[in-house]
Amino acid sequence: MTDITLPAVRPNNPHFSSGPCSKRPGWSFDSLADAPLGRSHRAKLGKSKLKEAIDLTREILGVPADYRIGVVPASDTGAVEMALWSLLGARGTDILVWESFGAGWATDVVKQLKLDDTRVMKADYGQIPDLGAVDFSRDVVFTWNGTTSGVRVPNGDWIPADREGLTICDATSAAFAQDLAWDKLDVVTYSWQKVLGGEAAHGMLILSPRAVERLESYVPAWPMPKIFRMTKGGKLIEGIFEGATINTPSMLCVEDYLDALKWSKDIGGLDALMKRANDNLATLEAWADKTPWVDFLAKDKAIRSNTSVCFTIVDEDVAALDAAAQAKFAKALVARLDKEGVAYDIGAYRDAPTGLRIWAGATIEASDLEALTKWLDWAFAQEKAAL
């Protein structure tokens, strides 16, 4: 039986939430002292801060020089919606769905935009659709990393360089932790609150020249809200991609994003960020390999996320319970860890299979994950004994 002795070492940082995610190591409110509060974001200082955020984003992520990068409203959701409403409808659309956010984008396209020529290609949680079945003469919408399923695409090799349609990629829990294939991506979106642990409500929208050409040559059949409009008189509004945001951003959040970007650069940039996430995943894999009561939701290591790591409870006694009792068991385990102050917000996403979801992105220390695994075993043993 698993040891029920209280572990001796506690994680220094118990913040394992998958969004908003943990702040960088060493973060404090003092990091935001240079925020231009009470100043207009359209003043020289405010615009320079936003432009610096765009420039550092390009440098650290390796975004090609001819791609536009913009700060947009409403987090990753706002960025994705801007892309869907502005770009789709010019040709058929393939949408890949293997978790809740991809399902949400499919709902928007089918039920809100009401695009008839749409194929929704689905896979269960823990799996991925047949990437070889995608038709790149059409526009393709997909998540690079499924935050709620712990599944990511293995790489960009499945996307042809000579595609006819656009690729629209929700990369919110992949950017800064996984190697995005920029030459295969026409639209990339993410939010600050994921891998870099920034504050919420701001999104990033990155457009390839092919995406810009579509924006300037295609007018959707539906009315376009002001907050989505990226063109005027048939031309891209370049200011959006130079720091002149559509609406008012929080300069406190901008400062926090800048702090995270500068930390990323200081520790070695994208390579260092990816290594931290990969090392964190390796820590959890080593634990799972020797732990009989737990398994990854994503069985295939090639598609396993190194940020939002999802587990199922496979202990035979727990598995024998009905679905409601299994969910109650998992919630009790999570609540016990929360009460001890060693892990916050690690329950599976509400639409996902019952289990655990542990953030392993670059702001998390491997030593904290190592300590957490001991507490996971302890909490499981406590709950198992209570059955």
Quick: pLDDT tens for 348-376: 999 999 999 999 999 999 999 999 999 99
In angstroms, rounded to a whole number, what is the distance separating the alpha carbons of residues 227 and 331? Answer: 39
Q: What's the pLDDT band for 282 if we cut at 50, 70, 90?
A: very high
Q: Given a cut of 80, is residue 257 above it in pLDDT? A: yes
pLDDT > 60? residue 101: yes
Mean model confidence pLDDT for the chain: 97
For the domain covering 269-385, report its CATH number. Answer: 3.90.1150.10
293, amino acid identity: W
Provide the total of helices (H) and of strands (E) in the chain, helices listed first. 9, 14
Average pLDDT over residues 136-150: 98
pLDDT at residue 320 is higher than 80: yes
Q: Which of 321, 323, 344, 349 is nearest to 334 (CA)?
A: 344
Phi, psi (degrees; rounded to nearest 5) at 131:
-65, -25
**DSSP label at residue 41:** T
Q: Phi/psi of residue 203, each to 5°?
A: -115, 165
pLDDT greater than 50 at residue 292: yes
pLDDT surpasses 90 at 343: yes
Bridge partners, residue 73, by sequence:
202
Q: Which two tokens stand for residue 11?
A: 């994680």
pLDDT at position 4: 77
pLDDT > 90: percent of the chain:
99
What pLDDT shows up at residue 1? 45
Q: Could you tell me the CA-to-CA distances from 60 to 101, 265, 360, 365 in Å, in that order? A: 26, 7, 20, 20
Tell me the average pLDDT across 66-86: 98
Residue 3 is predicted with a pLDDT of 58
Average of pLDDT values for 163-187? 98
pLDDT tens track for 13-42: 999 999 999 999 999 999 999 999 999 999
Query: CATH topology for 29-265?
Result: Aspartate Aminotransferase; domain 2 (3.40.640)
For residues 333 and 376, what is the distance between their CA atoms, to the nearest angstrom? Answer: 8
Q: What is the average pLDDT across 62-77?
A: 98
- For residue 245, with 0-12 CB atoms within 10 Å meaning exposed, 13-18 middle and 19 or more buried, which class applies? buried
pTM of this prediction exceeds 0.95 = yes
Give 206's strand partners: 69, 188
Position 2 scores a pLDDT of 52
Domain spans, the chain: 29-265, 269-385
